[in-house]
Chains A and B, each alone.
Chain A
């Protein structure tokens, strides 16, 4: 009955290094989202996976950002050559997704990974 798990909870890295952030969604959830939240700001959409469909990558801010979802479960968000402006909380959420004609399932969020680029 675990919720969405994200690791690490905190990550400090030097500018120019690559980082990997991990998300373990709720078992059986077909939809998985990554959002970014800067201090005091709202949630900025990054990428969305739904089942076996091609992911919606329209929110990724640059080609330094990429994400994978293996086996329809665990997801990894990778940021290459990190910059100071990448510092933020990265939130992952999963849901049962949406089936045409049925109510949209709400999102279940993890508590995020706080990334600090020095």
Chain B
């Protein structure tokens, strides 16, 4: 069955360091991979989308990589700040049909300490 795993439930790092979150998947061939941020009591908010034929995507302090051979995506936040503390979710879909659904990983809770 399709499975998405995010490397750890929680990650604690020092302010200013780079946070790296991992998303691995099995039994799936996604055409797109997305990353979302979720704050307590709120719905997830879209951050970045990367296609299967793209190796890397950047947006300000965020960087996403997508390796379809390793079946893995890495999500980096450089120069991390306490305001980056949240849960980060990866999401996959094959996108080849308008009928394809989007499925999510369980999330990684990131805490940035001052």
A contact patch SS: loop
Question: What separation, in Å, do the CA atoms of A50 and B101 have in the docked complex?
Answer: 9
Distance between A92 CB and nearest chain B CB, rounded to angstroms = 8
A112 within 8 A of B: yes
B44–A43 touching, CB < 8 Å: yes
Contact size range, A: 20 to 34
Q: Which of B13-21, B67-75, B90-98 contacts A (4 or more CB under 8 A)?
A: B90-98
Question: What separation, in Å, do the CA atoms of A105 and B33 have in the docked complex?
Answer: 11
B101–A98 touching, CB < 8 Å: no
A48 within 8 A of B: yes
A2 within 8 A of B: no
What residues of chain B lie closer than 8 Å to A4, measured between beta carbons? Answer: 43
A110 within 8 A of B: yes
Distance between B35 CB and nearest chain A CB, rounded to angstroms = 10
What residues of chain B lie closer than 8 Å to A109, measured between beta carbons? Answer: 43-45
A42–B43 touching, CB < 8 Å: no
Residue of A nearest to B30 (CB): A104
What residues of chain B lie closer than 8 Å to A106, measured between beta carbons? Answer: 34, 46, 49
What residues of chain B lie closer than 8 Å to A79, measured between beta carbons? Answer: none
Q: How many residues of B contact A (CB 8 A)?
A: 29
A77 within 8 A of B: no
Which residues of chain A from 96 to 114 have a CB within 8 Å of any chain B CB?
Answer: 97-100, 103-104, 106-112
Residue of B nearest to A6 (CB): B43
Question: What separation, in Å, do the CA atoms of A4 and B103 have in the docked complex?
Answer: 19
A70 within 8 A of B: no
Question: What separation, in Å, do the CA atoms of A42 and B90 have in the docked complex?
Answer: 10
Which residues of chain A from 32 to 91 have a CB within 8 Å of any chain B CB?
Answer: 33, 35, 41-43, 45, 48, 50-51, 53, 56, 58-59, 91
B104–A104 touching, CB < 8 Å: no
Residue of A nearest to B51 (CB): A103
A115 within 8 A of B: no
Residues of B within 8 A of A (CB): 6, 31-32, 34, 36, 41-46, 49, 51, 89, 91, 93, 95-107
- List 5 other contacts, CB 8 Å, given A42-B104, A93-B44: A35-B104, A41-B106, A42-B6, A59-B101, A107-B44
